Amino acid sequence: MKSREILSVFILALGITGAMLPGRKNDAIALNEHELLQEMLMESNYITADELAHLLISGDPSIRLIDVRSASKFKNPLPRATNIPLDSIFEDNFLYLFDQSIYKNVIYGLEDQQATQVWVITKQLGYGNNYLLKGGLNAWRATILDPEYPAQTASKEEFDLYEQRNAAREFFTGAKAIPKVEFKPIAPIQGRKKKKVQGGCS
């Protein structure tokens, strides 16, 4: 089964479940699996690790991080994250956090699966202001906490992005910054000039 088909089956199951959820707003229209799939493919529903790092470093007060891992796996969370395990989101002291217009909720897990389930449920309940951290904690760690050094042939933009990630790594971990790298364009290889043949036929 192709990955897109697997995703469609996953979305269909969540969509059917979401349409029957308690606490759904009266004016909320449950999305079918096609509409949910289209929503999931929209980049506007995601926040990347780079975007989130910038928002946290700038002190954006509108960001609220929601970690949906189980309580036993709630280790090394993102700064100021609230732990709301998937099986607890319908509890009265948690559900209201998803139904509000003040904060921009960034939902995440280790990867995407659990966070996506919670996000789909909020969609089917008719709640807004809920977003997914693209790639989850794994993407955060690979992008911000352990940024990959650019290849020798990388562009200036890629080196600049690496510097930003390196600075973010220092901000969030307190670890000493990796020495600054400089972009050095690779000069084209100059071919040897052919010597002119002296003389000729007489």
User: What are 93-115's pLDDT values in tens digits?
Assistant: 999 999 999 999 999 999 889 99
Q: Is 46 inside a domain boundary?
A: yes
Within 8 A by CB and 6+ apart from 32, the residues are 15
pTM, two decimal places: 0.74
Q: Is 86 inside a domain boundary?
A: yes
Q: Is 103 inside a domain boundary?
A: yes
Q: Is 74 inside a domain boundary?
A: yes
Mean pLDDT of 159-186: 80
d(CA 71, CA 33): 30
d(CA 95, CA 118): 11
Contact 17, 115 (CB under 8 A): no
Return the bridge partners of 82, or none. Answer: 66
pLDDT given at position 107:
98
Q: Is 136 inside a domain boundary?
A: yes
Q: Is 70 inside a domain boundary?
A: yes
Task: CATH number of the domain at 45, please.
Answer: 3.40.250.10
Residue 73 DSSP code: G
d(CA 178, CA 168): 11
Q: Which domain holds residue 112?
A: 3-141
Q: Is 131 inside a domain boundary?
A: yes
Total number of domains constituting the chain: 1
Confidence of residue 163 (pLDDT cuts 50, 70, 90): very high
